Amino acid sequence: MPASRVHRRTPSRKAAWRALSAAALAGILALTACGSDSPGASWNDGKKDGGQQADSGPKQGGTITSPAADAKDVPASTTIAFTLENASDPSIELKSASGETVEGELQEDGKSWLPEGALEYATTYTATINATGADGKPTTSTSTFTTMAKPSKVVRVSSFLGDGQVVGVGMPLIVRFGRAVPKDYRDDVQARLFVRSTPHQEGIWHWASPTEVRFRPKEYWQAGTQIRYKLQTGGLPMGDGYYGRADVNVDVKIGPSLIMTVDNKTKKMTVTKDGKVVKTIPVSLGKKSTPSSSGTMVVIEKQRKTIFDTMDDPNPENRYRTPIDFAQRLTWSGQFIHAAPWSEGQQGRVNVSHGCVNVSMAMGEWLFGQTRIGDVITVKNTEEKLQNGNGWTDWNMSWEQYVKGSAIPYNG
């Protein structure tokens, strides 16, 4: 059986209006009866129980977003990240609880500020962001955080070069880590390796291994370049609960542009200095059984006197123990430029070495006095190609190959 419908009579519009008007009138009479001290009627927007509410307009200013307010155990390597809303011209002040000011600078992203070095461990800091609002008035906001206790697991970070060294135009900046840096952390580490050159030259970091990263410019360093690089790794997370032990700062200078070019076809080395040919030197390269490598290398180390000892070589023909003068290492496998008085009769005509670039005693001494660590040598037209990694082979790679070794995408 279908449910029955109940019909209700709806009051007419006029009757409803009369009832509403009567209720309103009663309310007015009631308010009047309260006396003249009663507050006047006002709009209520939900923000206050009553009273006049002024419109303050849109929010203006900056907000510290990281570290979070009252955060604990913050890494000593932290940056100060912030956002701006209807504001411009941000500046950051960072002070310890004792009132000591920390120096630093805004980063290129315009959204963060980096202290000039690692913060103190187990210390409370207050970050203040000052900005100019859209109305031209100054704004200020603060946030307080506390750094972590000093970690027990640290990674040593070191530079191959030391302060004040003068090196060749092909010298890569080499940074080594006392422990392998996990792949997922390399971009964060690389982002804390800063290079400033005067004059400015475009360059990039390249991970040669999990424990070594190198920097080279797109072209050879310009002669006389001043380089300052900072490894801001103190307190920086490096995976598996390890942190960078300390920051490292290095200042070096690039010397004259000295380039050596060896051509197996002519058996000669051409030496140019600052773009001018200063010497042509007869050479003897590796014989067919032990060829010299073709490729671009740099001088890794120099020894006025040394001994070449290959007595552990499995091939009896390659075993020897010989005193050497004016040795300049080019590869880890043992190829050098060096004086070889025993082959002076063959230099410029025949290859008789075990892979080295043989020059006369006089030319070995002269060349030794001209070169620096990082000077460039290119060997051409031999039977064997240089293998990348066999020495500082950063210039044996094209720029396109080199940037692939960066942990941060290249946007040049």
- Mean pLDDT throughout 309-335? 86
Share of the chain above pLDDT 90, in %: 80
Least-confidence region, from 26-35, 297-306, 346-355, 395-404: 26-35
The predicted pLDDT at position 16 comes to 37
Please write the tens of the pLDDT for every residue from 63-81. 999 999 999 999 999 999 9
Containing 14, the helix (H) or strand (E) segment is helix 13-33
| pLDDT above 70 (res 27) | no
Q: Is 34 one of the catalytic residues?
A: no
Share of the chain above pLDDT 70, in %: 86
The predicted pLDDT at position 171 comes to 98
**DSSP β-bridge partners for residue 389:** none
Residue 58: pLDDT band by 50, 70, 90 thresholds? confident
The predicted pLDDT at position 6 comes to 33
- Mean pLDDT throughout 371-382? 98
- Mean pLDDT throughout 182-198? 97
Q: Kindly report the length of the chain.
A: 412
Please write the tens of the pLDDT for every residue from 112-133. 999 999 999 999 999 999 999 9
Structure tokens at 256: 């004259």
What would you measure as the largest C-alpha separation in the chain, in angstroms? 128
**DSSP β-bridge partners for residue 209:** 212
Q: What are phi and psi of 332, to 5 degrees?
A: -70, -25
Could you tell me the strand order of the sheet in which 226-231 lies?
Answer: 166-167, 248-254, 226-231, 193-198
Please write the tens of the pLDDT for every residue from 289-305. 999 999 999 999 999 99
The predicted pLDDT at position 33 comes to 39
CA distances from 92 to 86, 219, 242 (A): 17, 37, 29
Enter the pTM of the model: 0.82
Structure tokens at 21: 């008007």
| pLDDT above 80 (res 35) | no
The predicted pLDDT at position 52 comes to 45
Structure tokens at 98: 């004792």
Please write the tens of the pLDDT for every residue from 230-274. 999 999 999 999 999 999 999 999 999 999 999 999 999 999 999
Residue 36: pLDDT band by 50, 70, 90 thresholds? very low
Tell me how far apart the alpha carbons of residues 392 and 374 are, in angstroms, rounded to a whole number: 9
Q: What are phi and psi of 287, to 5 degrees?
A: -70, 170
Average pLDDT, the chain: 88
Q: Is 338 one of the catalytic residues?
A: yes
Domains of the chain in start order, with CATH, are 61-147 (2.60.40.3780), 154-255 (2.60.40.3710), 258-389 (2.40.440.10)
CA distances from 196 to 105, 189, 253, 297, 406 (A): 15, 17, 12, 24, 18
The predicted pLDDT at position 25 comes to 34
| pLDDT above 50 (res 44) | no
Tell me how far apart the alpha carbons of residues 86 and 269 are, in angstroms, rounded to a whole number: 65
Catalytic entry in 7, 34, 206, 338: 338
Helices (H), 305-371: 361-370
| pLDDT above 50 (res 173) | yes
Least-confidence region, from 19-28, 227-236, 279-288, 302-311: 19-28
